[in-house]
A = this chain, B = another copy of it.
Amino acid sequence: MSAYKLLLLPGDGIGPEISAEAEKVIAFLGQAGVAKFEIERGLVGGAAYDAHKVAISEDDMKLAHAADAVLLAAVGGPKWDGVPYAVRPEAGLLRLRKDLALFANLRPAICYPALADASSLKRELVDGLDIMIVRELTGGVYFGEPKEIVTLENGEKRAVDTQVYTTHEIERIGRVAFELARKRGNKVTSSDKANVMRSGYLWREVITALHKREYADVQLEHMLADALGMQLVRWPKQFDVIVTDNLFGDMLSDEAAMLTGSLGMLPSASLGAADANGSRKAMYEPCHGSAPDIAGKGIANPIAMIGSLGMAMRYSFDNAKAADAIDAAIANVLAKGLRTIDIKGDAPSSISTAQMGDAIVAEL
């Protein structure tokens, strides 16, 4: 059995705590002979800034390039509010996405039945919810040039960001969405602001053509991004796979995650293109942030982080069995009523980050 090269980037805030729990699962999988891992560790975000005055070091970028998969916990926090823009914590995350060419961000929005009451939506609207949001991750307004602030002659400042998309960028993310849909509910909702943005107009044109040419068996609908944001609230179960650009994907995936009432539970995968051997660069991270307000208290929910390791087993290490086992272990501890404080609800008591990690390992 060849070893999987995994780079761990715990990052900031609750990152190190939840990362430690994922390591327990990694250790278990190793001992149980399910998989062999070669683990590297690095710094990203505020942690990298504190150590090296950068958002991620060149050495750690090399490790990221060499890894089969990166497992990142979270970056950012008020501590670094004043650092120069180019080295703010988020810059580390953005560089990883861009340099590793991780164009496809998969964000499942699943509502765990045991947690349906935690949603602010009425139970019947979210119980059993299972959406896959496919967000384009290396283009759009996140990376387009010019991207700058200039001072005008009259002393005013003028800030510019540029949203750019080309045919092949839209096509390749569209393909990811259609392929996923075929294995799920066979329906894709593509979202844009074609009525206002030229990039949205091209987006719709390219997705429509790709659908007609290669994926006519999949049901396709187009929905304006503002309307989709509304429909998510009104009736989320109408969706199967949603494909959209970097910025709309940022907004809509967070909204969908919050709807489930299971934000602390949701993992994500960011994937590159497959090479000749069928292997691809990949990064896995929780959908939630670094939660600086509860960092260091040992109460953070490690489930999204452990679920991200599960996604790595599925998408990078081709080990659906291990991935399914992790998902089942998570569902089981929840069904048993084990709760960290964020999902406590009406439960009589809550457990710590470490207890949740241990419980999941015990299930495995």
Q: Interface of A with B (CB < 8 Å)? A: 76, 85, 88, 90, 94, 120-122, 125, 141-142, 144, 147-149, 152, 156-168, 193, 195-203, 205-206, 225-227, 229-230, 233-235, 247-248, 250-252, 254-255, 257-259, 263
Contact = CB atoms under 8 A, between A and B. Distances in A.
B168 A164 contact: no
Given A163-B162, A263-B230, A198 B258 contact: no
A201 B85 contact: yes
A205 B205 CA distance: 37
Contacts of A226: 250-251, 254
Given A156-B166, A157-B167, A161-B200, 4 more contacts: A120-B235, A147-B198, A161-B199, A193-B247
Contact of A121 (B76, B122, B162, B205): B122
A234 B342 CA distance: 13
5 closest A-B pairs by beta carbon, nearest first, are: A159-B202, A230-B258, A159-B199, A156-B167, A226-B254
Contact of A161 (B163, B166, B235, B254): B163
A264 to B, nearest CB: 12
A26 B197 CA distance: 36
8 contacts: A121-B122, A141-B163, A149-B198, A156-B166, A159-B199, A226-B251, A229-B229, A230-B258
B159 A165 contact: yes
Contacts of A200: 161
Contacts of A263: 230
Contacts of A252: 229
Given A149-B198, A159-B202, A163-B162, A255 B230 contact: yes
A196 B255 contact: no
Contacts of A164: 158-160
A195 B88 contact: yes
Nearest to A148: B198
Contact of A251 (B88, B125, B251): B251
Contacts of A206: 157
A221 to B, nearest CB: 13
A345 to B, nearest CB: 13
B250 A157 contact: no
Contacts of A255: 229-230, 233, 255
Given A90-B196, A163-B160, A230 B201 contact: no
Nearest to A156: B167
A255 B254 CA distance: 13
A235 to B, nearest CB: 7
Given A76-B195, A122-B121, A229-B251, A159 B234 contact: no
Contacts of A142: 196
